[in-house]
Amino acid sequence: MSNGRAHELTLIRFIRAPRERVFDAFVQAGLASRWMCPRGMSVPEAHFDARAGGRFSITMQARNGAKFAAGGAYREFVRPERLAYSWRWESKGLPGAETIIALAFIERAAGTELRMTQSGFPDAAMRDTHEEGWGSSLNQLGDLLDERGQAATVVLLGDPRSSYVRTARMGLAEKGVKYTLQPLAPQTPEILAVHPFGRVPGFRDGRVALFETSAILRYVDEAFPGPSLVPGTVRERARCEQWVSAINAYLDGTMVRRYVLQYVFPKGAGGQPDRAVIDAAVREMAGQLAILERAYGGNDFLAGRRLSMADLFLAPVLYYVERFPEGKALLEKHPNVMRAQGVIQARPSFLDTAPGGA
């Protein structure tokens, strides 16, 4: 038989809010329904008889409509210092083992230290699943109670001049997610702690750490409410993925690495831009822009009738291309591309993430 104590889960969080407020968030339905579920889910039902011996129940709902109910009874209720209650999943197909959750609310300068221990897990796998779920839920608790909102836990790391950092910032803005930007260069210790290859951007949401812009945007899209960053149909989602891949594999290398950066960080003789590299890149860019011109046709977006991740990847690249003479001249020959860029460049997400405005 497994030892439940051997599989105990302990989480410690500092929350910038009075401990009475943090305590109440665990026992009042109106507050608990706003945070007590992992990101990407919601709480349609919550009932609390908030007293020693009282019972509670909470139902979490995934975006696909699936519901997961849990409930228990309060064993200790000392507001605002301590709280203990049983916890058991009540939905068919979920682990039926009863665990015990004990909470300590410790008053600290500028906030509350929350210490949470959940014991009685029959195995490590169940404990680890709950650690992930509670970690995401506590991120939402911070969103709710900290005056900084989501920016208390959501952090984007990287140089705001990077086209990929701007893509991630635009995605966060389109979703309406508040975040903290930490301007950092590639290969710095802070970046390497998140991105094993030392590139930017890096991303943190509490204890969740991610690298690669596409992965960051997919997480943001599914974890937070707001308009989707991927189209609604199978065909359009495939086209979105197609263009994200093409921009990363082909356009970025030509337009950014071998064209824009040759002007920004010249590597030619005497510290001047290398004309041979630029001229070769310009020839490739002409063909790539012609492909984009056909892809847009009369549409303003690359995948479907509304903005998607594909547009977020392309816009920062073309913003830089247009800043240099050959790029500007090439773009002016492609009216569909120019029209589409005019549409996205008018959006607040683009205007508010200008490289010099960080």
Tell me the CATH number at 250. Answer: 1.20.1050.10
| Of the residues 116, 147, 178, the one at which a domain ends | 147
Residue 113 binned pLDDT confidence (cut-offs 50, 70, 90): very high
Answer yes or no: is 156 within a domain.
yes
Are 250 and 353 members of one domain? yes
Cβ–Cβ < 8 Å for 190, 344: no
In this structure, are 140 and 16 located in the same domain? yes
Identify the band that residue 5 occupies on the pLDDT scale cut at 50, 70 and 90: low
132 found inside a domain: yes
CATH code, domain carrying 130: 3.30.530.20
- Residue type at position 151: A
Residue listed under structure tokens 């302990």: 10
Task: Answer whether residue 229 is part of any domain.
Answer: no
- Domain containing residue 193: CATH number: 3.40.30.10
Question: Do both 99 and 41 map to the same domain?
Answer: yes
Is residue 110 located within the same domain as residue 16? yes
- Identify the pLDDT of residue 83: 98
State residue 2's pLDDT score: 42
Q: pLDDT band for position 4 (50/70/90)?
A: very low
**What is the per-residue pLDDT across 32-48, written as a single tens digit (0 to 9) for each?**
999 999 999 999 999 99
And the tokens for 161? 């001049």
Domain membership of residue 238 (yes or no) is: yes
Say if residue 6's pLDDT is above 90: no
Q: Which of 169, 202, 223 is the last residue of a domain?
A: 223
11 and 143 co-located in one domain? yes
Q: Using pLDDT thresholds of 50, 70 and 90, give the confidence band for residue 3.
A: very low
Mark whether 265 and 300 lie in a shared domain: yes
User: Of the residues 147, 166, 187, which one is the last residue of a structural domain?
Assistant: 147
Provide mean pLDDT across the span 263-280: 92
How many CB atoms are closer than 10 A to CB 57?
15
Please tell me whether residues 84 and 178 are part of one structural domain: no
% of the chain surpassing 90 pLDDT: 93
Checking if the pLDDT of 1 tops 60, the result is no
Same domain, 293 and 349: yes
The secondary element (H helix, E strand) that includes residue 283 is helix 275-296
The DSSP line for 120-185 is --SSHHHHHHHHHHHHHHHHHHHHHHSTTGGGGTEEEES-TTSHHHHHHHHHHHHHT---EEE---
228 located within any domain: no
Total tally of structural domains belonging to the chain: 3
Helical (H) or strand (E) element with 58: strand 55-61
Spatial separation of the C-alpha atoms in residues 208 and 196, rounded to whole Å: 15
Q: Are residues 131 and 265 in the same domain?
A: no
**Element at 75 (helix H, strand E):** strand 67-78
| 299 shares its domain with 182 | no
101 pairs with which residues across the strands?
Answer: 85, 118
pLDDT at residue 92 in the model: 76
98 pLDDT exceeds 70?
A: yes
Answer yes or no: do 32 and 123 share one domain: yes
Nearest to 7 by CA among 175, 156, 127: 127
Convert the pLDDT of each residue in 168-206 to its tens digit: 999 999 999 999 999 999 999 999 999 999 999 999 999
Q: Are 12 and 119 part of one and the same domain? A: yes
Query: Which domain range does residue 264 map to?
Result: 234-357
**What is the mean predicted confidence (pLDDT) over 67-80?**
96
Q: Return mean pLDDT, the chain.
A: 95
